[in-house]
């Protein structure tokens, strides 16, 4: 909830009885940070005096939460946060009543499977559809490829409605759209025999029309010379163990006085000049545009 790396910090207490050795605190801007232009600063303390909705709508400003050690933490020691009494109690109750699924002993996430040398001895050799018939991936895994609507089409077979393309991720803007794909062929790169290239069928997916760089012309799409870096093995939708009905879910608590009082007000009165259309700090800060997908490419007409 506070940043990607925080997912690796566990809560104190629980069955092992670990004690919290760190705490969350709002960042204090140092003198050197204050010398930087406001647009280049990460922590904007003036947001504490705004009401909650205005904070969520402000673009270009942010707040930083520091993880502060309560005592000396040695190299290799694990960091623990206090998730709150309610979380600890709920987790202890969950452990008592939890029953693992019948296939729990053999289940592996895509990441666990990919890095297991016994299960996946040749990670850089992705299997073709013919090879998968004899030696399939686990049921919870699928192959996806990066492939955009502006791929370099070499020819179109009108009779079979099939587009044939060459996959090229350089020097043009790289592919950004991830979609299901089937590996049809694997072969050495003519310029580097230690490097494998692939021919893949790029699949349509529900909702691709919402994103111009994903919206391919109708019909089949076959791309050759797909680079290994353009293919991923991932978990199928909703098969990860975090989606189990019996998975543990509970909000992580913070101290009662952690959030500013202004944010906790359920009713807000504001004057007309306080209408949240633009930050009052300067033109470099503007309100967010919600539900907008950002691409590094320029929009083009649908193919």
Give the mean pLDDT of 108-137: 94
**Residue 175 pLDDT:** 86
Query: What pLDDT, on the 0 to 100 scale, is given for residue 172?
Result: 65
Please give the residue that has the higher pLDDT: either 51 or 143: 143
More confident residue, 174 or 268: 174
Q: What is the pLDDT of residue 254?
A: 86
- Residues 267 and 198: their CA atoms lie apart, in Å, by 58
169 has a pLDDT exceeding 90: no
Predicted local distance difference test score (pLDDT) of residue 34: 81
Q: How many CA atoms lie within 13 A of 238 on its CB side?
A: 1
pLDDT value of residue 297: 73
Please report, for residues 46, 183, 253, the alpha-carbon distance to residue 241 in angstroms, rounded to integers and kept in the order given. 40, 26, 23
Calculate the CA 17 to chain-centre distance: 31
Q: What's the token pair of residue 177?
A: 């759209």
Please state, in angstroms and as integers, the Cα–Cα distance from residue 71 to each residue in 21, 68, 291, following that order: 6, 9, 43
Overall average pLDDT of the 16-32 stretch: 86
Mean pLDDT: which of 44-48, 82-86, 129-133 is highest? 129-133
Phi/psi region, residue 49 (left: phi>0; alpha: psi -120 to 50; beta: rest), is: alpha
Q: What whole-number distance in Å separates Cα of residue 259 and Cα of residue 230? A: 43
The number of residues making up the chain comes to 303
pLDDT higher than threshold 50 for residue 278: no
pLDDT of residue 288: 55
Segment 72-84 shows an average pLDDT of 92
Residue 268, classed as helix, strand or coil, is coil
278 versus 171: the higher-pLDDT residue is 171
**Residues 68-72: what's their mean pLDDT?**
94
pLDDT at 255: 82
Sequence-ordered alpha helix ranges (H) in the chain: 31-35, 52-57, 85-97, 110-114, 129-134
Structure token pair of residue 236: 């199928």
DSSP state of 160: T
More confident residue, 110 or 174: 110
More confident residue, 168 or 171: 168
Is the pTM higher than 0.85? no
Q: For residues 10 and 67, what is the distance between their CA atoms, to the nearest angstrom?
A: 13
């Amino acid at each position: 909830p506070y940043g990607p790396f925080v997912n690796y910090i566990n809560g104190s207490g629980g069955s092992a009885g670990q004690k919290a050795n760190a705490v969350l605190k709002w960042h204090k801007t140092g003198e050197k940070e204050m010398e930087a232009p406001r647009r280049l600063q990460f922590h904007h303390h003036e947001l504490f005096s705004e009401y909650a909705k205005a904070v969520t709508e402000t673009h270009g400003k942010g707040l930083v939460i520091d993880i502060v050690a309560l005592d000396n933490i040695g190299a290799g020691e694990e960091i623990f946060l206090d998730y709150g009494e309610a979380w600890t109690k709920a987790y202890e109750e969950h452990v008592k009543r939890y029953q693992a699924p019948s296939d729990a002993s053999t289940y592996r996430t895509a990441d666990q499977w990919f890095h297991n040398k016994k299960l996946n001895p040749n990670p850089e050799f992705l299997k073709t559809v013919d090879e998968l018939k004899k030696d399939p991936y686990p049921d919870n895994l699928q192959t996806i490829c990066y492939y955009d609507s502006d791929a370099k089409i070499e020819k179109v077979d009108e009779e079979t409605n099939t587009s044939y393309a060459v996959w090229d991720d350089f020097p043009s803007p790289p592919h950004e759209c991830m979609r299901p794909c089937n590996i049809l062929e694997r072969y050495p790169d003519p310029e580097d025999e230690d490097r494998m290239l692939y021919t893949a069928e790029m699949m349509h997916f529900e909702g691709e029309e919402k994103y111009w760089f994903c919206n391919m012309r109708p019909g089949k799409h076959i791309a050759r010379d797909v680079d290994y870096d353009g293919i991923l093995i991932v978990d199928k939708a909703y098969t990860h163990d975090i989606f189990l009905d019996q998975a543990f879910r509970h909000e992580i608590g913070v101290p009662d006085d952690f959030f500013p009082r202004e944010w906790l007000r359920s009713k807000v009165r504001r004057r007309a000049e306080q209408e949240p259309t633009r930050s009052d700090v300067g033109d470099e800060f503007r309100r967010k545009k919600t539900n907008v997908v950002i691409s590094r490419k320029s929009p083009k007409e649908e193919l």
